Structure 1
Amino acid sequence: MTLPQKDQWLWPDWRPHPAVRVAVTTRAGSHSPEPWNGFNLGLNCGDQPGRVEQARRHVEKLLQADHPAAWLWQVHGKRVIRADEQNNEADGVWTDQQRWPCVVLTADCLPVLLARNDGTAVAAVHAGWRGLQAGVIAEGVKSIAPNAEPVSAWLGPAICGKCYQVGDEVYRAFADTNPAFKTAFREDATPHHWRFSVVHAAMIELASLGVTDVQGGELCTACDLDRFYSYRKEGDTGRFASLIWLDRESNQ
């Protein structure tokens, strides 16, 4: 049983402000056995809670943060909380405090990392199709920029539009919310099904919120099972983390 080191994670080259830090864990390591098979950080996918808690403490140790990471109990909704809130049943978390990692867990859903351009606040949002359609990204942006301050976004690994098949109910839900979302869908060979790009839909939503500096979105979980978990491809599987925090600029 081995735990990963930081060089086995992704460290995106996205820096909207010198104080902003981001990281994405991978499944590298052999901490959890099959079916989680790697470095699972999810408590809701059948893995032993003690083993998952040990993995989470390992993340915090490697980050050397001042506060424990703000882990959420995600429910595919749109609630976004502050990192110090006790009720963690939410799909987004934000902070304006230094060295307090905000984290979301995914295995096909889209992690959206948000940062105010002045480096005073950051947020992590879990955008599955339900949360995205319900407005979770808007809640995340509003949390860190209540007066429409400039915000940048980074889109993490998620299932791509070629791999993600959805039914008519998903298409209708988005089309009824905003007709612009129709461009995130293309008709599938299977009747009454569509191929859906959650990244494209997120970019439409971010643009409607005035967030024009958007990076990332190229990595597909289902196409890269060596590094990421994919619920659609694997069924019972683990979760990896996307994290964002504020650091001291002098650490550059």
Structure 2
Amino acid sequence: MMKDAVALPALGDWLIPDWQPHPSVRACVTTRAGTLSPPPWRGFNLGANCGDEPERVEQARRHVHRLLGTPHPPTWLRQVHGVALVPAGHADAEADGVWTDKAGWPCAVLTADCLPVLLARCDGQAVAAVHAGWRGLQAGIIERAVAQLAPDGEPLSAWLGPAISQPCYQVGRDVYEAFVGSDPAAAAGFEPDGTPEHWHLSLTGLAGQRLERAGVTDVSGGEQCTASDPSRFYSYRYEGQTGRFASLVWLDASAD
């Protein structure tokens, strides 16, 4: 019996941000388009730690590299909800952010509700991709990335990728106190949900607040909700066991 043919996505199936901080900066977000992985990862899963067959994940990652057409493959991290950043090329490093000041080295983070933050120097000299779940956000992953890219206060631009929206993201007192206990202004990112000890958290709102404090005022994106669009994006809150999609940023040498 013949197996069904596998359909791999085209670049046109992915989200291309309306974000151009510099002519050399390129970015994209993969989606579930395709039939490489069966349920529960249904579509095009790039996550290596969510139960999918490693061979399928590697095939998907190679396909991403082919479509990007960059000299070097994306740097895939082992994300741990921390604040470590590594230079592009440190594949399989335990970190939640990756940066580069060299052309042709895509920086990638994987998400399925957490917030992907793409950063670029406005002079086109460096870019970074950050995985900002609530733990990493609260611990300062965004501030670490800003300091890495702009040590002397160079102008930066940020784009916020698809993540779970505030109406879909209920959290408990532990999360509320983790933020507000050390930063009372973070209360602006929480809305009571009408039940005791629970709030709705805005990852994009808190990320924007922290970016502004770090001196990044050129911030865009943040409109797509993963939990509200599970046919396009993976959502852990909506599905439980599921895959991961990638947000990528890189410098294109041909634009110099």
Question: Could you state the TM-score of these two structures normalised by the residue count of structure 1?
Answer: 0.98
Tell me which of 137, 142, 146 is aligned to 1:137: 142
Greater shift, 83-92 or 139-148, is seen at 83-92
Query: What percentage of residue pairs aligned between the two structures are identical?
Result: 63
Tell me which of 149, 159, 168 is aligned to 1:163: 168
Deviation at 1:2, TM superposition (A): 1.2
1:60-75 aligned at under 5 Å gives the runs 60-75=65-80
1-structure distance, mates of 2:104, 2:92: 21
Tell me which of 39, 48, 51 is aligned to 2:44: 39
**Equivalent pair of 1:116/1:150 in contact (CA under 8 Å):** yes
Tell me which of 110, 120, 127 is aligned to 1:122: 127
Tell me which of 36, 50, 53 is aligned to 2:55: 50
1-structure distance, mates of 2:205, 2:91: 33
1-structure distance, mates of 2:17, 2:198: 33
1:138-153 aligned at under 5 Å gives the runs 138-153=143-158
Post-superposition CA distance 1:218-250 (Å, at most 9, x none): 110001111100000000000000000000354
SS in structure 2 at match of 1:152: strand
1:87-102 aligned at under 5 Å gives the runs 88-102=93-107
Q: CA 1:86–1:9 in 2, change beyond 3 Å: closer, same or farther?
A: closer
**Equivalent pair of 1:109/1:159 in contact (CA under 8 Å):** yes
Counterpart of 1:59 in structure 2 is 64
**Equivalent pair of 1:40/1:240 in contact (CA under 8 Å):** yes
1:181-200 aligned at under 5 Å gives the runs 181-200=186-205
**Equivalent pair of 1:111/1:127 in contact (CA under 8 Å):** yes
Tell me which of 198, 202, 208 is aligned to 2:213: 208
Counterpart of 1:21 in structure 2 is 26
Counterpart of 2:3 in structure 1 is none
Matched, 1:107 2:112: yes
Post-superposition CA distance 1:133-169 (Å, at most 9, x none): 0000111111111111111100000000000000001
Post-superposition CA distance 1:36-72 (Å, at most 9, x none): 0000000010000111001000000110111111110
Matched, 1:12 2:12: no
Q: CA 1:32–1:87 in 2, change beyond 3 Å: closer, same or farther?
A: closer
**Equivalent pair of 2:22/2:122 in contact (CA under 8 Å):** yes
Counterpart of 1:79 in structure 2 is 84
Question: Could you state the TM-score of these two structures normalised by the residue count of structure 2?
Answer: 0.96
RMSD after superposition:
1.1
Deviation at 1:122, TM superposition (A): 0.0
Q: Which runs of 5+ in 1 are unaligned?
A: none
User: Structure 2: which amino acid aligns with 1:196?
Assistant: L
1-structure distance, mates of 2:243, 2:29: 14
Number of aligned residue pairs? 251
